[in-house]
Every structure is written in structure tokens, then in C-alpha cells.
Amino acid sequence: MNILLVYPKYPDTFWSFKHIMKYISRKAAFPPLGLLTVASMLPDDWEKKLVDVNVADLKDEDLMWADLVLISAMIVQQDSAKEIISRCRSLDRKVVAGGPLFTTGHEKFGMVDHLVLDEAEVTLPMFLEDLKDGKPKHIYTSKERPDITDTPIPQWSLINFKDYADMAVQYSRGCPFNCEFCDIVVMNGRMPRAKTPEQLLREFQSLFDAGWRGTVFIVDDNFIGNKAKVKRMLPSVIEWQKKHRYPFKLMTEASVNLAEDEELMLMMSAANFYRVFLGIETPCVESLNECGKVQNTNISLADSVKRIQNHGMQVDGGFILGFDNDPDNIFEAQIRFIQKTGIVTAMVGLLTAGPQTRLWHRMKAEGRLLQDTSGDNTDGSLNFIPIMGREKLIAGHKKILSTIYSRKLYYRRIRTFLKNYRPTVKVRFSWRDFIAFLRSIWVIGVVSRSRFLYWKLLIRTFFTKMRALPVAVELALYWQHFERVAKQATLKT
């Protein structure tokens, strides 16, 4: 059989990093890890092609070649996914769909021929067996949580590494916490399941052997969901990185309680982690209690951020507005916190009631649920009735974005971060890095209105903390993206 795997297009969001791709000669931030893993679960004798619409156009001849078209998508990709499904139907191509968009909203996709939902390790073999027998069903679903130690290595040969800024692997699934707004528990459960150290190293080695050098994003729901297993795994990664002369810089997502574990932070630093995304959400304790984010309530969030930065890791922060308990001054409080902590990459969005989350069920029970979510929490499309009032909430959100991504406050945040930051990451520089630096000199240092701030930052960093100079250049480039996304968000209603 001929199998075409298609990854829909992402809209322009904070996470797309679209506006810096041209500076680093790449087309997209991350590859479609889910589809690459699914490809390895398909029969070896099937012909497979992958089209990532974020890096290449999907052509009719691609679709006509395929006996089956496999689509996986996040909720934010739904518009592109619907367009692709429509094209498949017009060309009489059979569609198989899975991933978060379809797992939490399959009732909206009756036009899809086969829905393979939940975790593919369980449901995909069911579909393949029925397909072999000539009797495939419309929907496959299961609440079983598979042992991911059997999950295969992604089929990297289906992509061109030169299209992507970073690679991605997965170590674990699930999160022990149960935040009201989060859909992780819905899709992956509260009991973190992890791969073996040997298995993770095989994935690292497969990337290395295929020629990848650079950043690898460990895309776990919560990398430290099971601290004991992570601590048993990290020594193997440290040894592998050292043996291979640190070919990978690592980044991941974790909970704030990482800052309470000195041993774990030291191990992550030794393994060459340089960035970690934290769901900080809000400095308002009442709002944290409301959403069940108890892990953020019994510690100083600001001190936690600083401790992680002290261990050589940038903190990217997720922030949310729209909780029932948000006070009138929440907008000023969020700005003060972000500036004080030096969280340069601050993803500030509106609260969203994602499908089947505890928040979704509560809003529905209270008669406050309005519509489906777009999956983009910066587009102003609230899908519930906020206590604060829609107009006030959206106006406050726009105020935060326009403030923190103004060039003056953005560069001030970089300086704050660099004061706290103790560089430990081992970096391999490439021609791509050098070209990106030259482009930053021209675009920011010569023609931009930020040139004074840019040169001041670079000169100060060179003389006070020279090892952090690559990070300073990287963050200056990031502003080219964040400023545009923030501006687009403030123009939306």
C-alpha cells in the first residue's frame, strides 16, 4: 500500500516561531513527531511519504498516489486539517485521522473514513488488523494506557533535517497533577509512563547517526512527572552526551517543583539541558487554587524561576488570564512578575476550556460554555463567559502583550535574565549559527529601531558574561517573532 502521512499547517502563534525561521535558514520549528512514530508502526513493506504542510505544499499528485492518507493534528491545526480532509474527499481518497484534535473532538469529523483515537500503540494495531481482513471500522478508541517501552524509534528518513530548527523525542507521557484547564490527564492519564534509559539513548543515537546536531526538544507532558525514574535515566544521558562531545542541546517542559530539587537541576544541567518551559500561569494564589495547580501555591514562584536560571537553564513561562478569582489588578501583577523574573519568552494567553477537561465540564454545568476552542489562546476567541467580563479581559490581555513585547521592556527582561543566568550548556557552533548571527547584525543591529538596545546588550554581555553571548543573540532574534505575534494578537477582537 501507498501511505501518505500529512501534518496540517500551524497558524501564526507564539509556538510557531515562524518569523525567525528565515534568519536560521529553516522552514519550521519542530517535525511531526507523532506521525514519524506512527510511520514506524506501519508494515515495513508499505510505501510511505510524509508531507508537512508547514514546510511544503500538499499537491494533488501526492494525494492521488496514496491508497490511504493519515492525518494527525493538534486542535490549533483544525482549519488546515479540515481543508486537507475536504481535498481528500474531493479526490476520493480514504482518510485515517488521529491525534489530539480528533481524540477530543471526533464527533465533528464524521466525514473522516477511519478515526484511530487515543494512544496509537493500542488502537493502531486494531485498525491494521481489521484493514488486513478487509473490514476496517469507522472508529477505534481505547482507555488503555500502553507501555511505551515498546514504542518504536521515529522514522527520521521521511523528513529532511534541514527543514527544521529543532528535533523532538518523547521520554514519558502523563502528568501526576490534575490542573482544571489541562487536557493531559484526559489524553495521557495521571500516572507518568516512561521509556527505558536504553530506549531513549537509542533514539538519541538514531538522530546522531542520521546527522542531526543541535537542539532536541523532549516533548513530555511533564518531564519530571516521575522524578525517581528521571534521576535513574539522566546519568546515561550525561555519559552519552560526554562520549559524543555534546551534540545535542536539550529542552523540555516541567512543573515548577523542579526548583525544589537541587540534585535534579544539577543532573539536567550536566545532561546539557538549556531551556525548560514551566506552566507558571499566574502570581494570584487564589486563581492557582481555583484551577487545582497546587504545586505552584506553596513555593515562591519568583525564587523558583531564579534557581532554575542559576542552574544554566532559561525559563520559558506559560501564563493564563481569565480565572474566576483573578483580581482587577491581575494585568499589572502579571507584567510585574514577568519583568521581575526575567522570563524572556512569556507565553501569555486567555484561559480556554479545552474539550473534556474538568474546566470544560464545569463551564458546561454552569451554563458558561459558549463554543468550541480554536486551540489558540491569543486570538481573543473566548469559549466561555468569564467572571471579569469579556471586554475587560481581552483589553487587559492586549495590554500585557503590547507592554512586555515592547522593545524596551523585552530587552530589560533579557538583562534581568542574564544577571541570574549561569551558563553551563556546551554548544557546537555551525555555519548556520554564524549566518544567523550575521543576519541579526544587519536586521537588528543596522536597520532596526532596536539597534541601540541590541548593541548595548551584546557589548555588555561580551564584557560581563561572554559565555552567554550566543543566548543574548538568540533572544534578540526571538523578539522579531514575538513582537509580530503580539501585535497581531492586539489587533484581533
Asked whether residue 151 is domain-assigned, the answer is no
**Closest C-alpha among 6, 107, 104 to residue 57:** 6
pLDDT tens-digit map of 337-360: 999 999 999 999 999 999 999 999
Domain final residue, candidates 420, 441, 468? 420
Residue 338 counted as domain residue: yes
Query: What DSSP assignment string belongs to 404-462?
Result: HTSHHHHHHHHHHHHHH----------HHHHHHHHHHHHHTTTSSTTHHHHHHHHHHHH
pLDDT confidence of 17, banded at 50, 70, 90?
confident
482 located within any domain: yes
The single-letter code of the amino acid at 146 is P
Q: Would residue 198 count as lying in a domain?
A: yes
User: Rounded distance, CA 278 to CA 272, Å?
Assistant: 18
User: In the structure grid, which three cell numbers stand for residue 331, read together?
Assistant: 494585568
In a domain, 77, yes or no: yes
* 359 and 259, same domain (yes or no): yes
The three cell numbers of residue 363 are 463551564
Single out the residue in 398, 420, 442 at which a domain terminates. Answer: 420
Enter the C-alpha cell of residue 242. Answer: 560526554
Record the cell numbers describing residue 105, joined without a space.
473532538
- In whole angstroms, what is the distance from residue 258 CA to residue 312 CA? 13
Q: pLDDT, tens digit, for every residue of 81-105?
A: 999 999 999 999 999 999 999 999 9
Residues 228 and 101 in one domain: no
The residue-averaged pLDDT of 454-474 equals: 94
Write down the pLDDT at residue 487.
Answer: 86
- Across residues 448-468, what is the average pLDDT? 93
Rounded to whole angstroms, the Cα distance separating 288 from 39 reads 40
pLDDT-based confidence at residue 375 (cuts at 50, 70, 90): confident
Within 10 A of 351 (CB to CB), how many other CB atoms are there?
A: 25
Q: Report d(CA 455, CA 466) in Å as an integer.
A: 14
Mean pLDDT for 396-406 is 95
Q: Do 36 and 66 reside in the same domain of the chain?
A: yes
What mean pLDDT comes out for the span 284-301? Answer: 94
Q: Are residues 243 and 359 in the same domain?
A: yes
Instruction: Identify whether residues 276 and 225 lie together within a single domain.
Output: yes
The grid coordinates of residue 64 equal 492521488
Mean pLDDT of 362-369: 96
Range of the domain at 471: 431-491
Q: Which one of 140, 173, 195 terminates a domain? A: 140
Is the pLDDT confidence value at 253 over 60? yes
Is residue 395 pLDDT above 60, yes or no? yes
Whether 254 contacts 304, CB under 8 Å: no
User: 430 pLDDT exceeds 90?
Assistant: no
Residue whose grid cell is 546522531: 208
- Quote the DSSP letter at residue 357: S
In this predicted model, what pLDDT tens digit does every residue of 211-226 receive, in sequence order?
Answer: 999 999 999 999 999 9
Structural domain total, the chain: 3
Same domain, 486 and 363: no
Taking Cα atoms as reference points, which of 475, 406, 482 lies closest to residue 437?
A: 475
266 and 413, same domain (yes or no)? yes
Both 315 and 457 in one domain: the answer is no
For residue 260, pLDDT over 80 is answered with yes
| Amino acid (1-letter code) at residue 6 | V
Range of lowest pLDDT (34-48, 322-336, 417-431): 417-431
Q: How confident is the model at residue 493 (pLDDT cuts 50, 70, 90)?
A: low
Residue 449 or residue 348, greater confidence: 348
pTM of the model: 0.95
Q: Say whether pLDDT at 10 is over 60.
A: yes
How is 49-103 classified by DSSP, letter by letter? EEEETTTSPPPHHHHHH-SEEEEE--GGGHHHHHHHHHHHHHTT-EEEEESHHHH
> Which pLDDT score is estimated for 437?
87
CATH number of the domain that residue 173 is part of = 3.20.20.70
In a domain, 134, yes or no: yes
Question: What Å distances lie between residue 268 and 116, 212, 272, 393, 479, CA to CA?
Answer: 36, 21, 6, 38, 27
124-128, 244-248, 278-282, 449-453: which range is least confident on average?
Answer: 449-453
